[in-house]
Amino acid sequence: MPKIRINKLALELDIQNDIIIDELKKKDIPVKNHMSSIDEEAANYIRELFAPKPEKTAKGKATAKSKAKAKTVTKAKAKAKTTAKAAPKPAAKSTAKATAKAKKAPEKKDAPQKEEGAAAAEAAAETVKAEKGSAAKDAPKTKPASKAKAASKRSKPETGKPGEKSAAQKASRKLGLKIVKKEEQEAKEAQERAEAEKAEQEKKEKEAKKEKARKDSQAAKKAATPAPAPKPEPEEETFEVVKLSDNMALRDVAEALKCSPNEIIKDLMLMGIMATINQNLDIEIASRIADKHGFEVEVITPESELDFEESEDDNENDRISRPPIVTIMGHVDHGKTSLLDAIRKTSVTDTEHGGITQHIGAYQVKVHGQSLTFLDTPGHEAFTAMRARGAQVTDIVVLVVAADDGMKPQTKEAIDHARAANVPILVAINKIDKPDAKPDEVKKQLADYGLLPEDWGGQTIFTPVSAKQGTGLDHLLELLLLQAEILELKANPKLRCRAVVIESHLDRGRGPVATVIIEKGLLKVGDPFIVGNYFGKVRALTNDQGRNISEATLAMPVEVIGLPDVPEPGDRMMVVSDERRARQLSSTRLQREREQQLSQKPRITMEDLHQQIEDGQIQELNLIIKADVQGSIEAVKEAAAKLETKQVRVKIIHGAVGGITESDILLATASNAFVIGFNVRPTEKAKALAEREKVDVRLYSIIYDAIKDMKQAMEGLLAPTLKEHITGRVEIREIFNIPKLGTVAGCAVVQGKVERNSRARLIRDSVVIHDGKIGSLRRFKDDVKEVASGYECGLMFEKYPDVKPGDVVEPYTVEEIVTTLETHASNAS
């Protein structure tokens, strides 16, 4: 007898091996594991137990239904015949009623097939109509087909043939046992129905058990299969972590990625970057290369970016209140410096060129025993970057708006800077003493821009002041102190000092000088520090009144002397443990800066290549800027950037603090550049060299003049607009060949005039065949300068003898229109 293994059978039935083993053990069939073999009989038992048979069951039910219907119809016909043969009328009536009752249940389903006799048909139709809805609803629950099947099976032997049944009915009528037999029959049918229902229920339970076992098997399979699924983990493990820093040499990157430098060079070429083995790569490029080679990058922060807050414990108990840093902002000539002048009771405006603040001034004022630090930022739009630096270190912004002028573009810029720095704004409406002052109009304009006054239901404090008369200043200072109390400004004086460079310049007697504001700690004379890429030692401290001090406290503006070079405004100044440490950090930062400069190579793309080919059409304005303070250099750069167009580019070749020297003139000679001096003068040797080399040196004391001259220089570099004017129309009538002269065209001027040495087009059959210069123009053998309309003449083209009768000569002139930056911008748009 053939045998089959349990695992094969489980695969065939789509169930688990353990379920089959459990069922076999219940039947006392000896099995050990899923590899055990069982005979065909046991296999068939398992198949019958678990194999799904939905189609066979449906077919069986349908057959049972049809058989039950047929037998019910036969039974109903026999009863109808018996009733029809009855002799007494009362008995016939009662029999008809009984028959109708007996027929009611089967006629619900088979009404169309049972139409024998008028009374029976009407009764069946009424029954079907009355109970059609309920029968349709109860059909799935009661399953009458199965009941009919069971009932027909049990009643089949008793029913027999129709002839036998009618004989028995005749005998029963004679004996008068008709009612008794009917009751017995009904009881018997009820019993059969109950047994059929019981059998059906057992069958349902068995099928439910099989279905549950099958579902359990599938669920167990699904639960078991995800076990090997989580395979991304091994893939993640394959990514090795590599440590890279910014501006690493290509050789070092290749060593870290465990590959040859040639592979890195090849990858860079595919990315459009030409590099050598010693070239430095920025962290973005190095990360892309590492990702391509299957490495995960961990960026190493250089030691020069040491954060002193992390290395020191900032204990909150050591924090003390510090003075607020107040920045005065607003539009040019709205009275910012005059307002601060009135507060300080000094005169600062007179020392500024043109009465306009050129540098950021930092001052400290005592009010009711408390200190307030003020920053005065320039108002001109060219100093946007300087004003932005002022907003970065400030705690409160005082927005000065002139009552007679209202809101201006730089007022909006000041509001935007203050909002970007997330600092509160206090509006001071200045010049209220003027007769045309309109403070309510100013409030309305600022409210439209988002600064709603407190008395209008907003949160912005507005206060009227007059810097000229000194009114409203005490109230302004009280509001500033109140705002400072709300902010609860505190700092730790026990930490190493950290300050921000506000301004820097080169002093002839003191060397590089930086104006700083102390953020944390105390700055003392003799402290070693690092600022930007430079290190130094504090040799002297000077406060805002020009006095030497030995120690600078929190939020105090001071001038620091002891720098090796002029730092950039906005640089952080940090005190370190010793001078050796400062030198080490400075060396690291300078090395990083050099590496960044070396790594800044342009990427090669088709667009860049095309741009390089067409670069001859793009003009450049090269500038060398020398100024007394670093902020002025940034101002000129800012102004130049705003004037730049697609056709004219501005390139700042060199910018430094100090006077104009010979090296600046030599650099300008080599690069064909202008030299702009702002509040500085050239040395005698530099002046002589500039005259000899014909270098254009421009000296300014106000930023407006520098911007104006730069604009004119850029307009001179713009290509002029060419406009063509047709001056006349000449028709060629005859051709004359003159020895030693060539071909002369006899012409008639029909429109305008023709001039000698003017440009002209030769047109034949409405096609321009030559565009050149008229070399000779004669009238009656005399050379003439021009020939007017209505006259005849002879003319010759320079180096072009191919003229024919019927050709048309069209002389024209070209006018060059100087292009300004405004007209160029409008034409470009």
**Residue 521 is part of a domain; what is its CATH number?**
2.40.30.10
Using the 8-state DSSP alphabet, how is residue 300 labeled? P
In a shared domain, residues 192 and 93: yes
Contacts of 351 (CB under 8 A, 6+ apart): none
Which of 343-352, 473-482, 573-582, 765-774 has the weakest average pLDDT? 343-352
Residue 339 shares a structural domain with residue 467? yes
Q: Tell me, yes or no, whether 715 and 765 share the same domain.
A: no
Cite the beta strand spans of 634-741 per DSSP E. Answer: 648-657, 674-678, 697-700, 721-726, 728-738
Give the pLDDT of residue 378.
58
Name residues whose C-beta falls within 8 Å of residue 412's C-beta, 6 or more positions apart in sequence: 449
- Residue 56 within any structural domain of the chain: no
Q: What is the mean pLDDT of residues 741-746?
A: 88
Identify whether residues 613 and 564 lie together within a single domain: no
For the record, the structure tokens of 491 come out as: 């700092």
Output phi, psi for 212, to 5 deg: -65, -45
Are both 451 and 535 inside the same structural domain? no
31 belongs to a structural domain: no
Contact 42, 27 (CB under 8 A): yes
In a domain, 443, yes or no: yes
Q: Burial, 805: exposed, middle or buried (Cβ in 10 Å; 0-12, 13-18, 19+)?
A: exposed
Does residue 6 sit within a domain? no
Residues 715 and 659 placed together within one structural domain of the fold: yes
Q: Which one is predicted more confidently, 684 or 760?
A: 760
Query: Where are the strands (E) in 161-294, listed by range?
Result: 240-244, 248-249, 280-281
Decide: 509 and 523 in contact? Cβ < 8 Å. no
Token pair of 386, please?
């300087």
Per the domain annotation, does 42 fall within a domain?
no
Pairing of strands 786-788, 728-738: unpaired
Last residue of a domain, one of 464, 490, 516: 490
- The alpha helices in 227-345, defined as continuous H runs, are 232-238, 250-256, 261-270, 283-292, 308-311, 336-344
Please report, as a single letter, which amino acid is at residue 617: Q
3-state class of 373 per DSSP? strand
Do residues 772 and 806 share a domain? yes
pLDDT band at 332 (very low <50, low <70, confident <90, very high): confident
Closest CA to 657 of 537, 504, 501: 504
Within a domain: 44: no
State whether residue 418 is helix, strand or coil: helix
Under the phi-then-psi rule, with left for phi > 0, alpha for psi from -120 to 50, and beta for the rest, what region is 470? left
The domain tally of the chain equals: 6
- Residue 188 clears pLDDT 90, i.e. is over it: no
Last residue of a domain, one of 577, 598, 619: 598
Q: Looking at the structure, do residues 715 and 738 belong to the same domain, yes or no?
A: no
Tokens of 155: 């009643």
Is residue 217 scored above 50 in pLDDT? Answer: yes
CA diameter of the chain: 165
Kindly indicate the confidence band of residue 538, based on its pLDDT and cuts at 50, 70 and 90. Answer: very high
Distance in angstroms (rounded) separating the CA atoms of residues 570 and 573: 9
Per the prediction, the chain carries an average pLDDT of 73
pLDDT digits (tens, 9 = 90+) for 488-524: 888 888 888 999 888 888 888 888 999 999 988 999 9
pLDDT at residue 49, rounded to an integer: 84
CATH code of the domain containing 400: 3.40.50.300
Q: Is residue 261 part of a domain?
A: yes
Q: What is the pLDDT of residue 236?
A: 42
Q: Is pLDDT larger for residue 723 or for residue 143?
A: 723
pLDDT in tens, 305-320: 444 444 566 778 888 8
Confidence of residue 214 (pLDDT cuts 50, 70, 90): low
pLDDT in tens, 34-91: 777 888 888 888 888 886 655 444 444 444 444 444 444 444 444 444 444 444 444 4
Which CATH number does the domain housing residue 655 bear?
A: 3.40.50.10050
Please calculate the CA angle 29-30-32 and round it to the nearest 5 degrees. 135
Give pLDDT, residue 176.
44
Q: Are residues 341 and 462 in the same domain?
A: yes
Cα distance between residue 535 and residue 242, in whole Å? 33
Given a contact cutoff of 8 angstroms between Cβ atoms, the answer to whether 475 and 432 are in contact is no
d(CA 779, CA 755) in angstroms, rounded, equals 12
pLDDT in tens, 345-355: 743 444 444 44
Helical spans, DSSP H, in 694-742:
703-717
> Which pairing describes strands 280-281 and 523-524: parallel, antiparallel, or unpaired?
unpaired
* pLDDT above 90 as % of the chain: 11
Cross-strand bridge partners of residue 362: 375
Residue at 218 is within a domain = no
| Last residue of one domain, picked from the residues 681, 698, 719 | 719
Tell me: do 536 and 653 sit in the same domain: no
**Domain assignment of residue 763, given as a range:** 722-817
165 shares a domain with 112: yes
Same domain, 468 and 565: no
> Are 609 and 637 in contact, with CB atoms under 8 Å apart?
no
Burial (CB < 10 A; 0-12, 13-18, 19+), residue 661, is middle
Distance CA 285, CA 265 (A): 12
Is this prediction's pTM over 0.75? no
Residue 381 pLDDT grade (very low, low, confident, very high; cuts 50, 70, 90)? very low
pLDDT at 484 over 60: yes
Query: What pLDDT sits at residue 645?
Result: 73
Residue with tokens 């003898």: 801
